[in-house]
Every structure is written in structure tokens, then in C-alpha cells.
């Protein structure tokens, strides 16, 4: 099959809905380097047609994404950076690619809305592109929260077979929060607020009983990983797909809602709504468990891509958030 015919300038920062609006450049300066990065022949073999255009999407701390056009269809190629091995060898670029590819296959088999997996290439995954609106471009509402929670409940209901126990890291959010925070503190030794948060994490971990019941975790249910299309919700980003306790998944969702809305009273109301919706499915979760889950979520959001202003805001609201959980009525 032919090599790709042109490369479009890296323009978009978010999920795009109409690639045709991209500005084209006749002689892209980065054309050669992009061609080296993308294994076009292997991609074309999986697609069954030549690649006509490539658009480099927003660069992330954890991965690079490219939008590919081929025969009128659009695909996303996600290439994972190898910058999480300090957390666990299983979180290498190849490990996360395998986890995402398998998670997408599971979504397809269980009729959960997500991109369709097309091919796995070492540390890269090719998948279909979902056209729709980023949830971050829309005002959060109980309706959207209900869609997310319903999606997560269905995902958590999937049978955890023995072959899936070796995917990713069990209870990865807890391990990730601890090691990310420790790394953050070592880089900012004079930041006392981060040390206070570490003490809260240690205390919460001691009170968690680590029940044997585990579910499949999609890995990153934060607000920016959902697409709305025709009033339906689609999940994105499964590179941290692994078995674990559901409190870490719901905790990360609650932390994301609070952070996205800057810890307003409305954000706390939406978070409580999400929690109560999930507890209708799993009433065995205690507030003490949720305390650890949301604490891990706050730490991961604050330290994953450190931003001083954002970190300070999240750490500053951590104690208030834990008190908010403690005072929620009607939950044991």
C-alpha cells in the first residue's frame, strides 16, 4: 500500500469533530520525523486501505495521539510514553498499550460504548475515532453524571476472569498516588501542605481493610475522558485498565468532578449525587473506603502533570473534602 500522502499540522488540543476544518501545510517541517514515528505500512495493513492524512493531536504527559484518515474513515493512533516505570514495570509503554487494547476488546464484547480496537503495535494502539463533544466542553449536570455512573457500573459488572488478573497493577490508583506523591515531595521538599496530604494518605490506608472482592477498573474515569454523542456517553483512555477495588475508580471520578468545578458547593452536590448513584449498585462500600478512594484520586490529579496553582488548590481542599465525606448522611 502507498505511504501516507500528507501530514496535517498539529493544530487541535481537544477531540475534534470535523477533521476537514484542519489547516493543511504543503511542506510540513516535521513530516519526516512523523513518518519515522508512525509505522504506516503496518497501520495500512490493519486498516485495509492507504492512509491519506495524519493530524497530530494534543501531546500528553503520558502519550501522543494522531488522527488518521483512510478511505473516508478516521482512526486514532495512541503512542504511550515510557515514563511510569518508576511506579511499576507493568505500567511501561508496552504494558499500558496492551491494557488499553484488551480493555477496548472487552468493551466491544460487552456492548459498552468506546472506540473499536483495530490494532496493537508494541507501545501503540490503533482505534476508531469517536465523533462527539468532549464532556469538558459542556456544563456538568446530573444527567451526564448518571450516564457516566451507569457506564462504570456496567463495566464493573463484567466477570473478572483469571487471565485478567495479570493486566496492569492491582489497585493501581493506591500505588500510583503513593509513589507520585512521594516523587512530588522529593521535588518540592519545602512544600508542607503536600506532606500533610501524605500523612492523610497513610492514615486512610491503615483504616482500609482491602476486601477480597475485586472488579475490572477502566482506570481513568476523569471528566476529560468521556465523549457525548447523540445523547450517549463513550468511554476513553483505558491504559490503566486493571483489576482492583471499585472505591478507587469512583473516588477518582468524584475527585475529578470537584477539581473540574474548582471545589464549589455545586461540585460537592454533583459528587454526592454520583456517589449515591453508584451505591445503589454496590451498597457494601463504606464512607471510610470512599475516603481513601477520593484521597488517591485527588493526589493523582494533582501530581500526574504537576501545575503549582492546581496542586495547591487541590491540596488546600483535601481536608475539607475528607470532612465532606464524613458528614454525608445516610451512608454507613
Packing angle between helix 246-260 and helix 172-187, nearest 10 degrees?
A: 50
Quick one: cell of 22? 484542519
Residue after which a domain boundary falls, among 68, 98, 128: 128
CA angle 116, 121, 126 (to 5 degrees): 25
Residue numbers of the domain that contains 302: 133-326
| CATH assignment at residue 63 | 3.30.200.20
| Residue owning grid cell 453524571 | 145
Residue after which a domain boundary falls, among 128, 155, 177: 128
| CATH assignment at residue 296 | 3.90.1200.10
Q: What is the dihedral of CA 104, 271, 193, 60, to 10 degrees?
A: 30
Block means of pLDDT (10 residues each) for the chain, length 332 residues? 36 34 33 56 78 80 86 90 74 89 96 95 92 91 96 93 76 84 87 90 78 82 94 93 91 95 95 95 86 94 82 92 88 68
For residue 94, being part of any structural domain is answered with: yes
Asked if 274 and 173 sit in the same domain, the reply is yes
| Residue owning grid cell 475485586 | 214
Asked if 292 and 171 sit in the same domain, the reply is yes
For residue 332, being part of any structural domain is answered with: no
For residue 74, being part of any structural domain is answered with: yes
Query: What is the rounded CA–CA span in Å between residue 34 and residue 23?
Result: 17
Asked if 57 and 205 sit in the same domain, the reply is no
- The number of folded domains in the chain is 2
Residues in the chain: 332
For residue 331, being part of any structural domain is answered with: no
Residue after which a domain boundary falls, among 110, 128, 146: 128
* pLDDT given for residue 126 in this prediction: 94
Quick one: cell of 49? 486501505
* pLDDT given for residue 17 in this prediction: 36
Amino acid at each position: 500500500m502507498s505511504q501516507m500522502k500528507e501530514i496535517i499540522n498539529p493544530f487541535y488540543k481537544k477531540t475534534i469533530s470535523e477533521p476537514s476544518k484542519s489547516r493543511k501545510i504543503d511542506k510540513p517541517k516535521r513530516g519526516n520525523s512523523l513518518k519515522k514515528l508512525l509505522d504506516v505500512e503496518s497501520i495500512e495493513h490493519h486498516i485495509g486501505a492507504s492512509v491519506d492524512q495524519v493530524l497530530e493531536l494534543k501531546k500528553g504527559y503520558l502519550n501522543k495521539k494522531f488522527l488518521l484518515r483512510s478511505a473516508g474513515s478516521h482512526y486514532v493512533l495512541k503512542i504511550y510514553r515510557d515514563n511510569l516505570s518508576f511506579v511499576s514495570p507493568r505500567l511501561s509503554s508496552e504494558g499500558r498499550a496492551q491494557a488499553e487494547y484488551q480493555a477496548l476488546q472487552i468493551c466491544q464484547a460487552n456492548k459498552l460504548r468506546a472506540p473499536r480496537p483495530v490494532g496493537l503495535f508494541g507501545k501503540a494502539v490503533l482505534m476508531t475515532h469517536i465523533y462527539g463533544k468532549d464532556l469538558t466542553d459542556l456544563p456538568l449536570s446530573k444527567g451526564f453524571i448518571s450516564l457516566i455512573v451507569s457506564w462504570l457500573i456496567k463495566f464493573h459488572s463484567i466477570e473478572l476472569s483469571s487471565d485478567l488478573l495479570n493486566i496492569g497493577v492491582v489497585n493501581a490508583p493506591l500505588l500510583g498516588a503513593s509513589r507520585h506523591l512521594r516523587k512530588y515531595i522529593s521535588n518540592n521538599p519545602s512544600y508542607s501542605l503536600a506532606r500533610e496530604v501524605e500523612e492523610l494518605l497513610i492514615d486512610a490506608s491503615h483504616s482500609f481493610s482491602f476486601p477480597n472482592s475485586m472488579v475490572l477498573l477502566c482506570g481513568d474515569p476523569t471528566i476529560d475522558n468521556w465523549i457525548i454523542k447523540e445523547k450517549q456517553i463513550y468511554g476513553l483512555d483505558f491504559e490503566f485498565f486493571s483489576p482492583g477495588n471499585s472505591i478507587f475508580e469512583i473516588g477518582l471520578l468524584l475527585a475529578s468532578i470537584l477539581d473540574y468545578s474548582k471545589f464549589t458547593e455545586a461540585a460537592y452536590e454533583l459528587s454526592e449525587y454520583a456517589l449515591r448513584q453508584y451505591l445503589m449498585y454496590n451498597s457494601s462500600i463504606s464512607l471510610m473506603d470512599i475516603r481513601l478512594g477520593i484521597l488517591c484520586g485527588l493526589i493523582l490529579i494533582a501530581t500526574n502533570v504537576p501545575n503549582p496553582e492546581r496542586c495547591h488548590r487541590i491540596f488546600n481542599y483535601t481536608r475539607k473534602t475528607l470532612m465532606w465525606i464524613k458528614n454525608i448522611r445516610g451512608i454507613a
